[in-house]
Amino acid sequence: MTESTSIEQRGYAHPELLVNTDWVVEHKDDPNIRLLESNEDILLYDTGHIPGALKIDWHDDLNDRLRRDYVSKEAFEELASRLGLTPETTVVFYGDKNNWWATYALWVFQLFGHDNARIMDGGRLKWSEEGREWTREVPQVERTKYQASERDDARIRAFRDDVLKHLEKKGQLVDVRSPQEYSGEKLHMPEYPQEGAMRGGHIPTAKNIPWARAVNADGTFKSADDLREIYEKEQGLSPNAETIAYCRIGERSSHTWFVLSYLLGYPNVRNYDGSWTEWGNLVNAPIER
């Protein structure tokens, strides 16, 4: 299928989790929809964003400022209230880097029970390539009083001990980093500072399926058939097996979590956000190269 094939025609298990750029334009004045931009480059929003979109700062808004963890229930409620959200608001995320930080934000929102969330297929790249409107105007929204669920870390998140137990059970692992990181040649992607872990390599038995293989040149997701060709036929993943995905800090693996969970419909996928910055620093943790 080509990049222009409609979302409904691509064979996804849950096509409702994606919207296209036309849909965003058509719903720009819908008060029950909130467009949120989440980028790796937290200054990018200020240079121009989709009209009506608000900014998610992945570092300050979603992460605890002291502990390596996500924000508390109370901090998430403050964020959602500031953004003018209610539990019934349909949140549509988009961003740079083929939406990897958009899927990261969606994943964190789901930790707090906000499942009414979607991804704008293609992100900033697609919007830009279509020559659509950008603005620097920050919309003013009415503050709400959002009440979140207690953060549920068990359903879609994996911790270090979970990974160790998963290894004992010979569970299915997906390393979504670059081949150079997987081999231990590098500690981060080639164009980034090589820091964050004492050792390079990968968790034993993990399959290396770089996250960006799931997208087309215009940033849109590949069809379900093309994705199955990569994950199942080429790499041998079993759709029904319990699966844990990881990268360096959990952001690229949130993208793969989204692909496996919603586009291919795998029923039991968790994101190990400790990822290589934790595993590569663990004393006596098993590593392969």
What values do phi and psi take at 253, rounded to 5? -70, -20
Q: How far apart are the first and last CA of the chain?
A: 36
**Of these residues, 19, 50, 247, 263, which one is catalytic?**
247
| 49-73: b (≥16 Cβ within 10 Å) or e | bbebbbbbebeebbbeeeeeebbee
What is the number of other CB atoms lying within 10 angstroms of the CB of residue 145? 8
What values do phi and psi take at 5, rounded to 5? -60, 135
What is the number of other CB atoms lying within 10 angstroms of the CB of residue 28? 14
Contact 62, 71 (CB under 8 A): yes
* Token code pair at residue 66: 């002291």
Tell me which DSSP letter residue 112 carries.
T
Query: Measured in whole angstroms, how far is the alpha carbon of residue 112 from the centre of its chain?
Result: 15
* Cα 283 to Cα 275: distance, rounded to the nearest angstrom: 15
Residues 6 or more apart in contact with residue 150 via CB below 8 angstroms: 73
Cα torsion through 104, 105, 108, 114, rounded to 10: -130
Residues 6 or more apart in contact with residue 80 via CB below 8 angstroms: 114, 144, 146, 148
What is the number of other CB atoms lying within 10 angstroms of the CB of residue 240? 9
Q: Is 176 tagged catalytic? A: no
Contact 36, 49 (CB under 8 A): no
Active site (catalytic) residues: 247
